[in-house]
């Protein structure tokens, strides 16, 4: 928008889409009496109608931006990994109920999701058993959905964040993106923040003087942290978080696959682990 134009110069007052686009793309370096310009151009009858049109256009532009953001591939990945975790949690909770109920009916009752899935194949002989088997079938359905979602996450994460997925593994990469909110937000976080994502409760407790500073958050599930000597885990977590931060930035800003990041991380962890072995 040039300095001699108003926000809605040349637009039909009834064209809400064009007005919303002008709000999204318009810009000016100097202020002006935009309501007066709108009235002069015939776009609005008075200042009040101008502000009404501006409000409607701004809301429409915001709705479109939110819709586009929510439909982005990284947001779909966030929904998928959160749904996968919800299925996992719910299946485990129901499996506990199935095990408790089955224990009152069968001498050979087992526990866990695997037992519930096996029980789902049982042919019930009476109404109580039928209800138990039906509940076990729900566990089986949730576990199946969890597995399908995991497959989707593994495929989509490699497309959305190829470098992050290669270094962290696709599921951990998706969880980091979900914890940050989206890939853009993760790419903007310093490595120290990435290191403790998922450990917010412990971090806040530390800040209140009620506990030690956490060395790692969800990245503990990575073999490079979990599989490193406890005395060196802090160093391993810092090294991993540093490379993951770089990977997220590369994925967000260019999307180019950089295998050298893998080699650099492997070498760094090898040195950290050998230091622990020499101690």
The residue among 95 and 69 whose pLDDT is bigger is 95
pLDDT at 69 over 60: no
Torsion (CA) 77, 179, 244, 225 in degrees, nearest 10 = -110
pLDDT digits (tens, 9 = 90+) for 85-116: 999 999 999 999 999 999 999 999 999 999 99
Q: pLDDT of 196-252, one tens digit each?
A: 998 867 666 656 777 677 788 899 999 999 999 999 999 999 999 999 999 999 999
pLDDT tier at 71, thresholds 50, 70, 90: very low
**CATH pick for 73-160 out of 3.40.720, 1.10.287, 3.40.50, 2.60.40:** 1.10.287
The answer to which of 68-77, 104-113, 157-166 has the lowest mean pLDDT is 68-77
pLDDT for 70: 45
Domain boundaries along the sequence of the chain: 16-70, 73-160, 161-279
Q: What is the largest CA-CA distance in the chain?
A: 87
Q: Is the pLDDT reported for residue 5 higher than 50?
A: no
Same fold, 73-160 and 161-279: no
What would the pLDDT profile of 15-39 be if each residue is shown by its tens digit?
766 666 766 666 566 666 767 776 7
Q: Are 154 and 166 in contact (CB under 8 A)?
A: no
Q: Please state the pTM of the whole predicted model.
A: 0.73
pLDDT at 4: 44
CA distance 65 to 205: 36
- Per-residue model confidence (pLDDT) at position 214: 73
Distance CA 186, CA 171 (A): 15
SS3 assignment, position 27: coil
29-33, 146-150, 248-252, 253-257: least confident range: 29-33
Instruction: Categorise residue 36: left if φ over 0, alpha if ψ from -120 to 50, beta otherwise.
Output: alpha
Residue 238 has a CB neighbour count (10 Å cut-off) of 18
| 160 close to 183: Cβ distance less than 8 angstroms | yes
Domain 161-279: top CATH class: mainly alpha
Instruction: Band the pLDDT of 3: cuts 50, 70, 90.
Output: very low
């Amino acid at each position: 928008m040039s300095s001699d134009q108003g926000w809605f110069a040349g637009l039909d007052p009834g064209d809400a889409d064009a007005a919303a686009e002008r709000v999204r793309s318009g810009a000016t370096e100097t202020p002006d009496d935009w309501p007066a310009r709108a009235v002069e151009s015939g776009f609005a009858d008075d200042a009040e109608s101008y502000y009404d049109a501006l409000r409607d256009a701004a809301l429409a532009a915001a709705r479109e931006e939110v819709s586009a953001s929510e439909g982005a591939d990284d947001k779909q990945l966030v929904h998928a990994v959160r749904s996968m975790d919800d299925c996992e949690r719910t299946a485990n909770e129901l499996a506990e109920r199935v095990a408790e109920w089955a224990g009152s009916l069968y001498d050979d009752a087992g526990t866990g999701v695997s037992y519930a899935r096996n029980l789902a194949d049982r042919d019930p002989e009476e109404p109580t058993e039928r209800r138990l088997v039906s509940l076990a079938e729900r566990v089986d359905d949730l576990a199946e959905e969890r597995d399908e979602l995991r497959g989707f996450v593994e495929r989509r994460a490699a497309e959305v964040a190829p470098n992050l997925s290669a270094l962290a593994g696709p599921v951990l990469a998706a969880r980091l993106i979900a914890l940050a909110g989206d890939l853009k937000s993760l790419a903007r976080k310093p490595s120290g923040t990435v290191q403790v994502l998922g450990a917010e409760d412990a971090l806040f407790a530390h800040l209140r003087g009620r506990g030690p500073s956490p060395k790692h958050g969800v990245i503990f599930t990575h073999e490079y942290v979990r599989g490193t000597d406890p005395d060196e885990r802090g160093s391993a977590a810092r090294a991993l978080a540093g490379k993951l931060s770089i990977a997220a930035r590369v994925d967000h800003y260019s999307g180019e696959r950089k295998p050298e990041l893998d080699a650099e991380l492997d070498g760094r962890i090898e040195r950290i682990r050998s230091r622990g072995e020499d101690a």
